[in-house]
Amino acid sequence: MHPSLEVAMRPPEVFVRELSPAEGQRLKRMSKQSEHFSTRQRASILLASATRMSAPEIAAMWMTDDSHVRKVIHEFNERGFDSLRPNYRGGRPRRITTDERQRIVAVAGARPDSQGVALTRWSLLRLAAHLGERELAVSPAHLGRLLGEAGLSFLRTRSWKASPDPDYKAKAERVLALYERAPEGSAVISFDQMGPISLRPTHGAGWALSGRPERLRATFNRRHGTRYVFGAYDVHDDRLRVRLRPRRRGSDGLAFMRQLRLAYPRRVTLYWIQDNLSANWTPDIRAFAATLAEHVRYRNGPHRDRRLAAAERKLLVAA
């Protein structure tokens, strides 16, 4: 009879399954570039296991427990890369339910005066107080976070305009067509005014003694009055012509139109685009435009002669 001996057997080790080259490269990237530390740690454990390191050796390297290393390897062998995503849980459940969040967003998105509150806009403090009266207790800071998550932000009211002109669509299409392409032998001019403008001191910056900056008077005299800028932009030639006028009357606009017409040859037809300012539609301006349009039609007809050219020159030069 042979004597029996007790031998301490090493428990079978747990190793990661065989990895493909693509999976190995992916694990290597995740071990270095992943956002969460737990993902980087799990990827490094799997890479170490792929080199046949034992679970205790990997645990010592990462200063963790053997059971955690084996758990990571088992989960990867069962679920693949989905097991590397952190599943953070814990903490107390949400105090404000989804339905209450929707109610808060609905109240915040409506005007206060439409809800019986004598206000025109909500602040976080007043909105939190109003919700408290409706048994929705939420702090102003948390209320701001809830509104931000819902896509709400504090914005100024904006307005929009629509033309009452029944022919607006046809006119707009004509203007856009001229902007796109000018007819042969013509120029497209966009006209507008700006003002009043005046010379005024402007605060700058520079080096000075501490507490002794350069100072300018807060009030000043406009000894030379103000000016208005008259601008005409040649859309297709990309050229801007500007004049300064002391006023924005119809006579000033007419003088600017005459100057601009003299800047182009008589054979060039001008398409003039302007807004509906009353100073742009005085009787003198309408008569000037109608006369030029009649001359253009006559000039392009079969009866053009020298007398027409002389008449055009006399009309344009007249003040």
Q: Is the pLDDT of residue 203 over 60?
A: yes
* pLDDT at residue 13 greater than cutoff 60: yes
Is residue 162 included in any domain, yes or no? no
Question: Reduced to 3 DSSP states, what percent helix, strand and coil does the chain have, rounded to the nearest 5?
Answer: 45, 10, 45
Instruction: Answer yes or no: is 7 within a domain.
Output: no
Single-letter code of the amino acid located at 141: A
How confident is residue 21, by pLDDT bands cut at 50, 70 and 90? Answer: confident
Same domain? For 135 and 257 the reply is no
- Residue 6 inside a domain? The answer is no
- Greatest C-alpha distance within the chain: 145
- Structural domain contains residue 218: no
Structure tokens given for 43: 């990827």
The dihedral through the CA atoms of 146, 148, 150, 152 has a sign that is positive
Which pLDDT value is given to residue 209?
Answer: 87
Cα-based distances in Å from 283 to 42, 288, 317: 85, 9, 19
Residues 283 and 181 in one domain: yes
Confidence of residue 289 (pLDDT cuts 50, 70, 90): confident
Distances in whole angstroms, Cα of residue 244 to Cα of each of 122, 181, 195, 231, 249: 46, 30, 10, 9, 13
The two structure tokens encoding residue 178:
């001229």
Number of domains in the chain: 3
Residue 220 forms part of a structural domain? no
What pLDDT was estimated at residue 318? 39
**Which pTM value belongs to this model?**
0.46
Please give the pLDDT value at position 236: 92
Residue 288 forms part of a structural domain: yes
175 & 296 share domain? yes
Q: Do 193 and 290 sit in the same domain of this protein?
A: yes
Full residue range of the structural domain in which residue 310 is found: 168-197+225-317
48: in domain: yes
77 and 127 housed in the same domain: no
